[in-house]
Structure 1
């Protein structure tokens, strides 16, 4: 599968860079009064009630991100994380609706409502602890078979691709890798250059081996390292 570079128009880039974060911040700010009011209805007061937006809207956003990461990287508990993220979103929506209905006298508080709102912090803690069971790093480790080293690929600074679904290495098309040169062959080429009175450089060694000068320099470093260890 090849990749293409898409040049987005300026307004699309601006929307992605500035519009989405601005809308996200505005939505969080607008949710604050209703969630604080709902906390006050449930019996919290003062600074404690001001923490309810963190337990509802910020929690819903965090749960959505963590559930998406769990799905992408196949982390433990991904299904329950996704269910919890959906429930967190529903909770954030209902908190606004119920608060505004109470403020406009369309409904009154009740024991059931107070009990449900009072349970929010505990449920948030339990769900976040559940979703936090995954590894600290999100990188996937796969076992890939050994593939022949390609000097052309290293010249371009490119590596073979790894299929993240199967864990199999996929060499790039159109370039066949060359087998690595044995250390004794490299040493023999270096000694031959010295015998001819030539200076052993990466370029000279690469030319003697029929490889690129960068590969020759890399092999020269290997020879020097081996000599230092044995000497």
Structure 2
């Protein structure tokens, strides 16, 4: 029989960081960064002089490389993943780091005598160092012109209606129940129509002729009204009479155009129409 070994979970401890450690971290990073730039400046200044700049302008090489490394690293760390310019910023950070690192050994090789600039420095060194400032400027302008994140469409939520605190909010009223009306069965009808309506208000139908509205209630019997019944309804409503063809071909047709199911009702008996 296999044995089951249970091991207790490894406890975790949340130990607060001592104040002196946080202070050393906060102060130490800018101090180290400053000393690194001071130590690298002579080598970069030396390469600037070898490339042809005078003693004053050659110090700009140290400032250009230091600023390029700092700006590219800051942009690369702040750009979210997938944002425009993220890859370019990361590549620029690595390029600035490589330029700052390569400047030191190249300069030291000349200073220590492993390489010589007599009677003049190599062509590749002059061309490479001379191209650094314009390339740095172009890349920094590219990073500045690239948007930080992709443009998104902001959807504004509809504002909630303002209520007066002094006015009590009326309680919510439930929707009224569904009402089922059963129509009376005229003599001669073949079935009992049951019309289901809801008490909720619906948008009324707008007819082009008011006589259509006088005809529409006749369908509530569950039968399709005849010509005489429709004429009687029109006259009872106080509207102008019209021909049989207009009653059937225009008025009744318009009613059934808005509600096609009415045309499928069985026709009313002649006695009811009369």
Q: TM-score range by the shorter chain?
A: 0.5 to 0.7
Cα displacement string for residues 180-202 of structure 1 (whole angstroms, at most 9, x for unaligned residues): 78615x34249xxxxxxxxxxxx
Equivalents in 1 of 2:136, 2:162: separation in Å? 60
**1:86 counterpart residue number:** 94
- Structure 1 residue runs of 5 or longer lacking an equivalent are 148-179, 191-231
Q: 1:188 aligns with which of 143, 146, 167?
A: 167
**Residues 190-205 of structure 1 correspond to what in structure 2 (within 5 A)?**
none
Displacement after TM superposition at 1:15 (Å): 1.8
Q: Give 4+ residue runs of structure 1 displaced > 3 Å after superposition.
A: 140-147
Alignment CA distance shift 1:181-1:16 (3 Å): same
**2:143 counterpart residue number:** 131
Alignment CA distance shift 1:114-1:16 (3 Å): same
Greater share of helix: 1
Equivalents in 2 of 1:116, 1:39: separation in Å? 10
**Residues 28-177 of structure 1 correspond to what in structure 2 (within 5 A)?**
28-70=37-79, 72=80, 74-108=82-116, 109-135=121-147, 143=154
- Structure 2 residue runs of 5 or longer lacking an equivalent are 1-13, 170-274
Equivalents in 1 of 2:26, 2:153: separation in Å? 33
CA RMSD of aligned residues (A): 3.2
Alignment CA distance shift 1:69-1:142 (3 Å): farther
**TM-score for the superposition, normalised by structure 1:** 0.57
Alignment CA distance shift 1:62-1:115 (3 Å): same
What is the SS of the residue equivalent to 1:132?
A: helix
Larger radius of gyration: 2
**TM-score for the superposition, normalised by structure 2:** 0.49
Q: How many residues align?
A: 152
